[in-house]
Amino acid sequence: MKKTFIGLAAAGAMLLTLAGCAGGGDTTAGSSEGPKPVDELVVGFAQVGAESGWRTANTTDIQAAFKDAGIELKFSDAQQKQENQIKAIRSYIQQGVDVIAFSPVVETGWDAVLNEAKAAGIPVVLTDRAVDSQDDSLYVSFLGSDFVEEGKKAGDWVVEEYKDSTDPVKIIQLEGTTGAAPAIDRAEGFADVIAADDKFEVVASQTGDFTRAGGKQVTEALLKSNPDVDLIYAHNDDMALGAIEAIEAAGLTPGVDIKIVSVDAVKDGMQALADGKINFIVECSPLLGKQLVQIVEQINNGETPEKRIITEETTFDQEQAVAALPDRQY
């Protein structure tokens, strides 16, 4: 699935428009007016929802970063519904904000509203998740993780963990929100790596929508039809934590009878990892606030931000989780 990024020329043209805009909207006084005072900037942020510990940490970090920068942040929670995010973006356009930022709940269906923002001369920044658009003039920058790489890191751990096993390794995959970039890409990266050996078999794969309740429900159902599963690959910690509840309810020991590999490394996931109920977690940092503020300030100054900014992140085994927990920010 091709994800494209803005050509620098188009980005530059959009930035010049903003630098002259009096608060976004349709007044384009050209770049002669220079940047607006930071305390007059207004940014509209359309958040996915509050579905997971990761999302809550992401929201908290972004709100704190804009408060510290003295930049007004208008915030909306779409409750994981694309139509609500589109409504919020349209509202920000109407209000004539200076920059719109959002984390697209799913990859497709954004061209119309992003073209409306472009027509209004309001630059758009993607945070966290990507859109799958053929039109590379619709956003200035995309700040977030490489989810394919995260899936590969999870797969690498599984291949290493079972390198001496000659028996089949049966895997249940708990997918994130259907159509969301992290769900699509984490599945792709993981599948690419475990394809190296046909002893690995994904016997079932189903969405738990990135929620703890979803992870528990799906795991309960899939354990009934796959009682001999060896490992669960969860696209996020919240679904892994739900799977732990289901595994324990089935009288089995998570991390031992059924191993679990997950993504995010939020505090509750790291605690389960330290407790031996999860075996490995690939970090996905939600701390995007400061970098998003920097992108907004660059836009305001008529500079061209990087079109793709990949967040830095690592991985944790059980021992590393014990050591890292005391200092975890989220």
Relative to beta strand 99-102, strand 124-127 is parallel
Shortest spacing between CB 176 and ligand GZL, in angstroms:
6
Measured from the CB atom, the residue of 194 and 265 that comes closer to ligand GZL is 265
Measured from the CB atom, the residue of 53 and 255 that comes closer to ligand GZL is 53
Cβ atoms of 234 and 190 closer than 8 Å? no
Measured from the CB atom, the residue of 35 and 144 that comes closer to ligand GZL is 144
Shortest spacing between CB 270 and ligand GZL, in angstroms:
13
Shortest spacing between CB 164 and ligand GZL, in angstroms:
31
Shortest spacing between CB 129 and ligand GZL, in angstroms:
5
Measured from the CB atom, the residue of 128 and 132 that comes closer to ligand GZL is 128
How many Å apart are CA 95 and CA 26, to the nearest integer? 11
Cβ atoms of 84 and 76 closer than 8 Å? yes
DSSP state, residue 254: B
Measured from the CB atom, the residue of 129 and 152 that comes closer to ligand GZL is 129
Measured from the CB atom, the residue of 57 and 114 that comes closer to ligand GZL is 57
Shortest spacing between CB 292 and ligand GZL, in angstroms:
13
The helix/strand/coil state of 207 is: strand
DSSP secondary structure string for all residues of 108-161: SS-HHHHHHHHHTT--EEEESS----S-TTS-SEEEE--HHHHHHHHHHHHHHH
How many Å apart are CA 73 and CA 184, to the nearest integer? 30
Shortest spacing between CB 316 and ligand GZL, in angstroms:
15
Measured from the CB atom, the residue of 170 and 212 that comes closer to ligand GZL is 212
**The pair of three-digit structure tokens given for residue 91, joined into one six-digit string:** 């509202």
Shortest spacing between CB 128 and ligand GZL, in angstroms:
5
Residues of this chain that bind ligand GZL (CB under 6 A): 51-52, 54-55, 128-129, 144-145, 182, 210, 236, 238, 263-264, 284
Q: Which of 305, 283, 275, 330 is nearest to 8 (CA)?
A: 305
Cβ atoms of 230 and 170 closer than 8 Å? yes
